[in-house]
Amino acid sequence: MKKLLFITGIVLLGACQTKTDQTETQALGNPFYREWETPFGVPPFDQIKNEHYMPAFNKGMEENLAEIDAIVNNPGEPTFANTIEELERAGKLLTKVQRVFSNLASSNTNPKLQELQRELSPLISAHNDKIRLNEALFKRVETIWQDRENLDLSNEQLKLLEDRRKSFVRSGALLHFEQKTRITEINSQLSELTTAFGQNLLAETNGFELILDEADLDGLSDGIIAAAAETAAQKMEKAETEEEKAKYKDKYVFTPHRSSMYPFLTESNRRDLREQLYKAYVQRGDNDNKTDNKEIAAKIAKLRSERAQLMGYETHAHFVLEERMLKTPSEVYDLLMQLWKPALERAKKEVADMQAVVDAEGHDFKIAGWDWWQYSEKVRKAKYDLDEAALKPYLSLDNVLKGVFETTNKLWGLTFTELFNIKVYHPDARVWEVKDKDGSHLGIFIGDYFTRSNKRGGAWMSSFRGQSNLDGKVRPIVVNVCNFPAPVGDDPALLSFENVTTLFHEFGHAMHGILTDVTYGSMAGTSGPRDFTEFPAQILEHWAGEPEILKSFATHYQTGEVIPGKLIDKLLKASKFNQGFANTEYLAASLLDMDWHTIKAEEEVKDADAFEEASLAKIGLIDEIAPRYRSTYFSHIFAGGYSSGYYSYVHSAVLDSDGFEAFKETGDVFNPGLAAKLRTHVYEKGSTEEAMELYMQFRGRQPKIDALLKVRGLDGSTD
């Protein structure tokens, strides 16, 4: 009724509207201020404009603080219902706009969104600190915590109460005023620095182009050449001046995006050009220019260490790991070093194998980083007669999607129906409705798979709406974002097998978000400890290489031929190939992460490059391999949520290898009993129980590392 009266008032006022009325009139056009009557409540992307974000953020923060005041000023005694559950309900508008903004700022950004990121970053940090450091609010939470044994709380409620209290304490609730003030300052600075790091990295990645003539294409296959020509054509189309257009006319462009770089490094016979592109990639953020990240990385590490010390922890890593499955830096280092020695030994053998090929070809050079892709591929062909290019025609994107859908159908009875009546934020994005085996709606899945210049690198899962059962059943809207090569001409997008495992991995995260079934939204889906939340993603990767699954979806995009059994056999035999490189580059980055975040607050890193060199020299990393992420483009830890946590992938690999071994032991990789346990105790539970307890309820025991060493060929069973 109020809305009707308000609208009538506008008509009557006409040109005599006051400034306040004009603001309210404009507010009616802001899509964040109304319920979305779109199919399944998907954000109305076609209606959301850049100018809608800041007003919605401001209003969202204002409403959120008013909700907090209402909780704090409730005259009744603090209870779980009037405090903890009300905190769960608070901030709906802010969450609504934040989910859309953060997703699009990562996957479909533009200069205005980047400007808003920089502006909003310190504002959101300060807003969060107002809540986390609210003494009266913490007092209510603490009162409930102290009385928890008398409250008849469910296990899920008790875990939520514990998590809430911890979040306040770990944000500085027990500190004195001066310390809280400094924590707020640090959080604001970190927010600005991490935003700058990410934006610098995007600029650095987009800032280099290898522009080639036809004479420079020696060794490249037709598909790779066509993709490079398409990239040049797209850049020519976007060029604003005739001079810029001429730069791309009849040219071929390669970039430091992996989907462009890796095929070039694998196939190009121009070693000088391979070196150029490789060095452009590994020097990102380390070019002593306005987008250099060295100083930013060092500042972030120092500020995090200072904050941890203020909180009473030895280092940032000690602070972070308190909430992980591995609880201390020493436990993390121990795990990583168990793998480091066999991985490094294997990598050195791989170098020797490649050098033998170089020598046999009559060349006079030593293998370098930019040679690895080409010469490892030559060794693979010689050892296993496996040509990566021979696989790709069977691995079109639609085929692989069919495969991952069928995998989850066989495991849990899920079905996926593509929807074409939903507006998306970019033409590349596609939408599916996910239904359970009984036909009930589980959620909406969005897939956005192709590389583009306004998307950050890598692959990730996120959500536009989370799951909750607190005030009725709310099902999630989940998105996977990847950076695969786009289709060229009339051909479909063809994936490498590495792309396939990436798709299955991110889809595993998506299933964690879709299948979750908890009462409280803050505990849903991927909310658990980082070194556990990779497990549901990584275990799904194992099904990608199962012959039964491959034969069900891998058909040649031109002939319709099912992938030959001999090709699958070659793929499986080669699965442990190049594991020295794969593990060494990953472990080096993980150890670098730990070194950055075990520095003490009083220490100062004056030269990020020297710090990195010392870190890698300490473990004996060979010159032919760079860490998967050097410090200046290590966005996982300096612009993402993985600080002191990049090791999580290998800890989760212990879990996923051990967990999939359980299926193999039964002789049925779709064993119904195990599949049900995996869903019930892992994918559905979010963070409602301790991670190790969830794993043990699925597996029946604690994890062992043996299966991982076997899977990666690091157990001495292969040469």
Fold of 392-577: Neurolysin; domain 3 (1.10.1370)
Give the model's pLDDT for residue 5.
Answer: 29
Q: Kindly list the catalytic residues.
A: 506
Please identify every stretch of the chain with a pLDDT value under 70, giving residue numbers as ranges.
Answer: 1-28, 717-719
Give the SS3 label for residue 600. coil
Phi, psi values for residue 403, rounded to 5°: -65, -45
Give the model's pLDDT for residue 538.
Answer: 97
Q: How, if at all, do strands 477-484 and 415-419 pair?
A: unpaired
DSSP per residue, 431-462: EEEEE-TTS-EEEEEEEEEE--TTS-SS-EEE
Can you tell me the distance from the alpha carbon of 449 to that of 678, in angstroms, rounded to the nearest whole number? 27
| Sequence spans of domains, the chain | 1-28, 35-132+134-170, 208-282, 392-577
Domain 35-132+134-170, CATH homologous superfamily name and number: Endopeptidase. Chain P; domain 1 (1.20.1050.40)
Q: Provide the CB-side half-sphere exposure for 116 (13 A, CA).
A: 22
Q: What is the DSSP letter of 314?
A: S
pTM value? 0.89
Give the model's pLDDT for residue 362.
Answer: 97
Can you tell me the distance from the alpha carbon of 478 to that of 488, in angstroms, rounded to the nearest whole number? 28
DSSP per residue, 631-678: GGG-HHHHSSS-TTTTTHHHHHHHHHHHHHHHHHHHT-TT-HHHHHHH
> If phi over 0 gives left and psi between -120 and 50 gives alpha, with beta otherwise, what is residue 315?
beta
Can you tell me the distance from the alpha carbon of 220 to that of 216, in angstroms, rounded to the nearest whole number? 9
Interacting residues of 407 by C-beta distance below 8 A, sequence separation 6+: 504, 540, 543, 549
* DSSP-based helix, strand, coil % in the chain, nearest 5: 60, 5, 30
What tokens does 97 get? 């706009």
Give the model's pLDDT for residue 387.
Answer: 86
